[in-house]
């Protein structure tokens, strides 16, 4: 009887591990948005590391380059739209980046209220919140820098 329970426990653990290695739809969308084929990624944690690395690299290249405000605005708008799509926020082509970021923040607040007792959902929401904060901060910095640039 003990060995059967041990086997069942191992089977359950293996199935839980397999489920953890599957990528969420949101993560797959984020990988595709940065040009990475989701089938080449083996786990959610690896995917999140690749996403974070790509976001950091794009920010560093923007800081080092002589990008004009419009091209960096387009980048932040693309990132905001990608995040919005990942969490189910709809937007129109006429929405400003500020509108989209505000709508994302509202949606994350709603998600946070609904997921209070679910640690894995809370962790995912925190990841989204971190991405939102990064986009907002980078956009604000770019806007501030453009005020001081000499044309």
- Nearest CA-CA partner of 62 in 133, 139, 136, 128: 139
Q: What is the pLDDT of residues 92-112, one digit of tens each?
A: 989 999 999 999 999 999 999
Ramachandran category for residue 89: left, alpha or beta (phi over 0 → left; psi -120 to 50 → alpha) = beta
The reported pLDDT for the residue numbered 104 is: 96
Give the mean pLDDT of 57-73. Answer: 56
- What pTM, to 2 d.p., does this model score? 0.54
The reported pLDDT for the residue numbered 63 is: 53
Give the mean pLDDT of 55-73. Answer: 57
- Both tokens of 71, joined, read 């091209």
Give the mean pLDDT of 11-27. Answer: 56
Number of residues that this document lists for the chain: 151
* Rounded-to-integer distance, Cα 62 and Cα 42, Å: 29
Is pLDDT at 148 greater than 60 in this prediction? yes
């Amino acid at each position: 009887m003990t060995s059967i329970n041990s086997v069942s426990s191992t089977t359950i653990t293996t199935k839980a591990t397999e489920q953890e290695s599957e990528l969420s739809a949101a993560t797959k969308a984020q990988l595709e948005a940065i040009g990475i084929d989701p089938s080449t990624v083996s786990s959610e944690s690896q995917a999140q590391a690749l996403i974070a690395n790509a976001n950091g690299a794009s920010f560093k290249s923007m800081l080092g380059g002589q990008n004009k405000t419009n091209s960096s605005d387009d980048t932040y708008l693309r990132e905001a739209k990608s995040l919005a799509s990942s969490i189910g926020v709809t937007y129109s082509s006429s929405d400003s980046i500020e509108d989209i970021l505000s709508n994302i923040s509202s949606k994350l607040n709603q998600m946070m209220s609904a997921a209070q007792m679910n640690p894995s959902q809370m962790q995912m929401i925190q990841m989204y919140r971190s991405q939102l904060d990064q986009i907002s901060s980078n956009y604000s910095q770019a806007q501030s820098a453009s005020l001081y640039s000499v044309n």
